[in-house]
Structure 1
């Protein structure tokens, strides 16, 4: 029996032929034996990547403000379900709930659900949010209560297919074999492929059915239960070409085929496709805004100033954290934010609502 995920992938490709990029990515992340999120996922300074909640408490606190304002605009339902999908080590939800303690009635109304497929991360979340219920899929969320859903850096984990336009037509990028080793190659695009926009020869286009499927499921959940969803991730705010597949290990980029299962594989979030899919279900879809603008509207500047005043010996560290979240050359503009809501009376606070179908 093959001893590693790489060996098993080589064996499968030998028997079945080249594997589309989205299938390769899914196996690397979710293989039940050696998948990254099944076995290897590590976050933080000593891990493979660091997310905004681990950069600074200010991020989670601002999302706590957003949850509070959204809950108030919903008429302060009690109880309601606060759902986080892909909650990392639980820091974000913990920070949100700390803000909820300061809003009369909010903490008592919250019923926390964490949607998490990683056993390791689920255990960490349970330590920081001990009263949470856990699910492995959004499909399991009960539809008996209003919902507010948070998903930070989830879309980038959802696989995408890659297509390249050549002088002789469209081809799909796949993972095959060259001299017995994993290698990228091209196969003719299937009849099911429809170019999402007018691409030039040489352009690579990414299409993520997993991202749009999540958008549809989120929108349908909100329509059935009433509430809102917030998606935050690095990605594009307008359609366009580009190869965004990357492998991360210890905060460094590596060859995507080097160590299947040991490295985190990600692609950019396709916010235009996600927004368009959600809008077609009939929910209200916000504008796509930068993380910098979103956090500023929520009041991060005032919170930063207050923390600096109370912790003057930590002023430089707090400034570095603020800059990491807000600076254009860091997370400030690369990361985008999208909100969904239903019915129209739910206010997407700090996001400019746009009810025009995309």
Structure 2
């Protein structure tokens, strides 16, 4: 990337982020204590089990149609394995499709869900039945654009390279006309983020749900925007690092704008529920009862189960920052956890 930028000039932040993450995810398993970060399914089986029961409940109240389980960015396959186990107890044993680009993670997923089928996007998923979709910490890794308020107006943040040192700069093309009216007079240095790939994927998913029926559950850390703020971050070895240092060797993410997700889905004709916080959602689904049940079955693990539950739902940990929305096709039942 350094050579390309040096020869051709600065590139948009979105292009930099896309190239860096493509290399990052293709070359490693980033999860767990030995990796760079830990996701909710890796913290506790309770997370995936409750999502599986949520899907099974939707399926049951929709009339128990033949349906496919589809997961975007399924990590090691841990969430799917836990969810499928819970679904099977409710009588739901769907075919499984994983939307995954990483060959390393596909290998891990195959160990946990050997009967899954893989594709690079939704185009590879058959159109024969309703879809039960999960996307946990998927949208945060999609490339973002950053627009910066300067004394010349709003300009896009680009990434330049000098002697293999990457650094953000401001471009000279104006973007004032696409800035929401109430944000155009923001202070100099203000940053507004957008994610065109997020909208494109959401619209493609909406089209499939409208044609085939089904529901989607999206869980990620984020906010309801549009709002001013720089949320680009890089994590390596469970610590925050400079996003412009060693691209491709750290996980680059940005907070998800749930208002944009909601608007994109509603424009396409889906019914949107939420967002609600992850803590409220998991409590509504019965995580407290599940934690008690696990503790009784495994008294030696009771303290760690309590800590895992707290990590998932406590406002100071994942409970408040992470948000949840559900998308349902017209005619499908209203989901639990959003009342």
TM class by shorter chain equals over 0.9
Which residues in structure 2 correspond to 1:205-354 (within 5 Å)? 205-352=192-339
User: How big is the shift at 1:131?
Assistant: 1.1
In the alignment, what sits opposite 1:59?
47
1:264 & 1:189 partners in 2: Cα distance? 29
The Cα offsets for residues 200-255 of structure 1, whole Å up to 9 and x where unpaired, read as 11321100001111111111110010001110001112431111111111101111
Counterpart contact for 1:228–1:346, Cα < 8 Å: no
- Aligned partner (choices 154, 158, 162) of residue 142 of structure 2: 158
What residue number does 1:355 align with? Answer: none
Deviation at 1:168, TM superposition (A): 2.6
1:197 Cα deviation after fit: 5.3
1:134 match: 118
Distance 1:23-1:197 versus aligned 2 partners, 3 A rule: farther
Q: Provide the alpha-carbon RMSD of the alignment.
A: 1.5
**Which runs of no fewer than 5 residues in structure 1 stay unpaired?**
1-8, 353-358
Contact 2:71 2:134 in 1 (8 A): yes
SS in 2 for 1:145: coil
What do residues 313-357 of structure 1 show as CA deviations (whole Å, max 9, x unaligned)?
A: 2121111101110111110010000110112333222124xxxxx
TM normalised by structure 2 equals 0.95
Q: Please report how far the alpha carbon of residue 190 of structure 1 lies from its aligned counterpart in structure 2 after TM superposition.
A: 4.0
Q: The residue matched to 1:287 in structure 2 has which SS?
A: strand
Q: State whether residues 73 and 347 of structure 1, in contact with CA within 8 Å, keep that contact through their aligned partners in structure 2.
A: no
Q: CA deviation at 1:180?
A: 5.4
The equivalent residue for 1:22 is 14
Matches within 5 A, 1:52-201: 52-77=40-65, 79-104=66-91, 106-107=92-93, 110-178=94-162, 181-191=165-175, 194-196=178-180, 198-199=182-183, 200-201=186-187
SS in 1 for 2:105: helix
Q: Which moved more, 1:14-23 or 1:172-181?
A: 172-181
TM-score by length of 1: 0.91
Partner in structure 2 of residue 4 of structure 1: none
Please report how far the alpha carbon of residue 293 of structure 1 lies from its aligned counterpart in structure 2 after TM superposition.
0.8
Q: What are the ranges of 5 or more consecutive residues in structure 2 without an aligned counterpart?
A: none
Go from structure 1 to structure 2 and tell me whether the alpha carbon gap of 1:179 and 1:259 turns closer, same or farther (over 3 Å shift).
closer
In structure 2, the residue corresponding to 1:288 is in which secondary structure?
A: strand
Instruction: Name the CA shift for 1:157/1:193 in 2 (closer, same or farther; >3 Å).
Output: farther
Q: 1:180 to 1:315 in 2, by over 3 A?
A: closer
Once the two structures are superposed, the pairs formed by residues 30-45 of structure 1 within 5 Å of their partners are: 30=22, 35-45=23-33
The partner residue of 1:50 within 38, 55, 63 is 38
Residues 180 and 249 of structure 1: is their aligned pair in 2 closer, same or farther, counting only changes over 3 Å?
closer
My pick for the range that moved more, 60-69 or 172-181, is 172-181
Looking at structure 2, the residues matched to 196 and 52 of structure 1 have their Cα atoms a distance apart, in angstroms, of 34
SS state at 1:317 partner = helix
